Amino acid sequence: MAKKIGSLTLYSVDDLHEQLGISKMTIRAYLREGRLKGRKLGVQWYVTEDAIRDYFNEAISDSEEKSDKKQIAKKMRYIVQGVNDLVSETEECDSISETIECLHSQAIISLFQVRIIDAENQEIMEVIKARDFIERYAK
C-alpha cells in the first residue's frame, strides 16, 4: 500500500509489483540502473508518482529510437529465470550486459539459468546456466 506523507505519495517495490504486474526483480533492476528514479530508505526503495510519469514519458521516446535499431540487427532476448521452486522470478533482458548485471545482482547465481531467444521468431536458441553465461560473455 502506497505511503502518504503530506501531499507526497511514495510507492515501494511491492506496491509497483502489485499495481503494474512487473516482477520485483525488474523494478529493482530499473532502480539500480537509474531507468526509474527512486530513493532507498533503509532497505526499501521508494518511487514517487512524478518518477513513474517521467519513466513512462522517457520510455515512449526511447522506444521509437530502439525500434529503428531493432530493424538493423538480429535481436536476441535473454530470459533470466530460477531453476527450481526456491526462485520463481523471471527477468527479461534486451542485452548481454543487462543480463550479466541482472545475474550479478542475485544472491545465489547457481539458482538461475538464461534462455537465449531469437526475438524475431521466438525460437529458443540456447538454455545456459547463469555461471556459464557470465563466463562466456563477461569481458
pTM: 0.47
Q: Are residues 89 and 44 located together in one domain of the fold?
A: no
The residue among 36, 51, 71 that closes a domain is 71
| 97: amino acid identity, one letter | S
Q: Are residues 94 and 124 located together in one domain of the fold?
A: yes
Q: Are residues 66 and 80 located together in one domain of the fold?
A: no
* Domain hosting residue 82, numbered range: 74-137
Neighbouring residues of 67: CB distance < 8 A, sequence distance ≥ 6: none
Q: What is the per-residue pLDDT for 71?
A: 44
Are the C-beta atoms of residues 31 and 45 closer than 8 Å to each other?
yes
Number of domains forming the structure of the chain: 2
Q: What is the per-residue pLDDT for 120?
A: 82
Q: Are residues 12 and 56 located together in one domain of the fold?
A: yes
The residue among 71, 87, 118 that closes a domain is 71
Helix or strand holding residue 67 (H, E)? helix 49-72
Q: What is the per-residue pLDDT for 89?
A: 77
83-136 pLDDT tens trace: 876 777 788 898 898 999 888 888 888 889 999 998 888 888 889 999 999 998
**d(Cα 84, Cα 93) in Å, to the nearest integer?**
20
Q: Are residues 18 and 57 located together in one domain of the fold?
A: yes
